[in-house]
Amino acid sequence: MSQQEFVLQNTSNALVLSEDAAHLIEQKARLEKAIFNEDAPLTLDASKSLLESIFKTVLKDRVQDPDITQDFRPLYRNVRDELPFNGNAEANSLLGNLGSAIVHNVSELRNKFGAASHGDDGYHESPIEMNDAELIAYVVDGLAGFVYRKHKHLVNPETDGRIYLSDYPEFNSYLDEQYSGFKIELGESSGIDVPASEAIFSVDRTAYKEMLVQFRATEESDAEIEQNEGIEESAEAAQLEVQLVPVAQFQQPPESEPVSIINPIQDIAASLVINEEVRLSITDDECNQLAEFVRDYALNYAGLDWQSRESLIAKFRIELKRRLIGVTYLEHYIDEAIDLLIEKAKAYYPSINE
């Protein structure tokens, strides 16, 4: 028996916000245990089962009354129909084909060499060694984590068959600021605080969904207004930016003490390039457009004292997420980019309630 624990890191990271998905977590643990026990045939069985559970969960979440009794490969084809892998058509097709190859070969390996696929004679020895089995597990881990993260990243409450509280933190923050929660008293000195968002979600899932859809619709309406007036507002904001530069910055500094004037747009655009991987995936024009949006939204649409109000910050975050998805910003860095952009907006464009 191997003395080193095997962890499906990619799948584990993808499931971090799905702690109540007990069956998925069990399937992951079953595969990890098979590898820990150096059981190659069982590793093949558990690998296929994990992918099947991922595919069925995605379809149940995204489709009303899906057919999850289909075979392994048709299940994956349905997932591809419902879940885009990439915003670029060519990249989406290539990623889908890569997944198809993995699904096909995992299925073939399990059917021919898995523990439960066929009964063999008492002296049969599987040709699949543990090194082979670990390769299969790593590949399956990659696909399972990729599909599930993509699925959770592209949730849509208007069309999805199931919704989850943890998928909408910005909306939950908005609800918690607008409505009062309650406290369950457990004694004279202890109790459990239940936020409004959790209470609404638990008691009336339909009402929560309707409010969520309305919240998103309001945000889309604001975005449309911003798009129609964007050119004019951008010009006004740029003029205001020049006017607000301290006079001292225009004075000729001594040659020995040069003064560097920070351009907010350039600084915000530069902050989007978190690392080399991001730099290779986004253009300078896209960074500048996003930086200009941060300025325009903060100055014209975020609201009074937005930087100190969680509900308004939540709306700002939603708009930033839409823009980042729109330029196909690398999804695993989106949350980090949003945090950086919010901090830059607070520094350069705070709203003061005079």
pLDDT (tens digit, 9 = 90+) per residue, 63-108?
888 898 999 999 999 999 999 998 888 999 999 999 999 999 999 9
The phi, psi pair for 233, rounded to 5°, reads -65, -35
Number of domains in the chain: 3
pLDDT (tens digit, 9 = 90+) per residue, 313-352?
887 888 888 888 878 788 888 989 999 999 999 999 887 6
Indicate whether 66 and 139 sit together in one domain: yes
Indicate whether 106 and 175 sit together in one domain: no
Q: Which residues pair with 194 in a beta bridge?
A: 182
Indicate whether 129 and 176 sit together in one domain: no
pLDDT at position 281 is 86
pLDDT at position 250 is 44
Indicate whether 179 belongs to any domain. yes
The phi, psi pair for 183, rounded to 5°, reads -120, 130
Distances (CA, A) of 344 to 266, 270, 277, 336: 11, 11, 22, 13
CA angle, 147 then 152 then 154, to 5°: 95
Indicate whether 183 and 231 sit together in one domain: no
Q: Residue 354 pLDDT > 50, yes or no? A: no
Indicate whether 160 belongs to any domain. no
Are residues 80 and 10 in contact, defined by beta-carbon separation less than 8 angstroms?
no
pLDDT at position 236 is 58
Indicate whether 251 belongs to any domain. no
Q: Which residues contact 115 (CB under 8 A, 6 or more apart)?
A: 39, 41, 42, 44, 45
Q: Report the candidate in 3, 314, 280 with the shortest Cα–Cα distance to residue 177.
A: 314
Indicate whether 16 and 144 sit together in one domain: yes
pLDDT (tens digit, 9 = 90+) per residue, 224-266?
555 555 555 555 555 555 455 454 444 555 555 555 577 889 9
Indicate whether 179 and 233 sit together in one domain: no
Indicate whether 226 belongs to any domain. yes
Ramachandran area for residue 119 (φ above 0: left; ψ -120 to 50: alpha; else beta): beta
Indicate whether 195 belongs to any domain. yes
Which residue segment(s) compose the domain that 187 sits in?
A: 165-202
Indicate whether 4 belongs to any domain. no
**Rounded mean pLDDT, 152-163:** 73
Q: Over the chain, what HEC string results? A: CCCCCCCCHHHHHHCCCCCCCHHHHHHHHHHHHHHHCCCHHHHHHHHHHHHHHHHHHHHHHHCCCCCCCCCHHHHHHHHHHHCCCCCCHHHHHHHHHHHHHHHHHHHHHHHHHCCCCCCCCCCCCCCCCHHHHHHHHHHHHHHHHHHHHHHHHCCCCCCCCCCCHHHCHHHHHHHHHHCCCEEEECCCCCEEEECHHHHHHHHCHHHHHHHHHHHHHHHHHHHHHHHHHHHHHHHHHHHHHHHCCCHHHHCCCCCCCCCCCCCHHHHHHHHCCCCHHHHCCCCHHHHHHHHHHHHHHHHHCCCCCHHHCHHHHHHHHHHHHHHHHHCCCCHHHHHHHHHHHHHHHHHHCCCCCC
pLDDT at position 247 is 45
Indicate whether 298 belongs to any domain. yes
Indicate whether 3 belongs to any domain. no
- Average pLDDT across the chain, whole number: 82
Pairwise pLDDT comparison (220 vs 12), residue with the higher score: 12
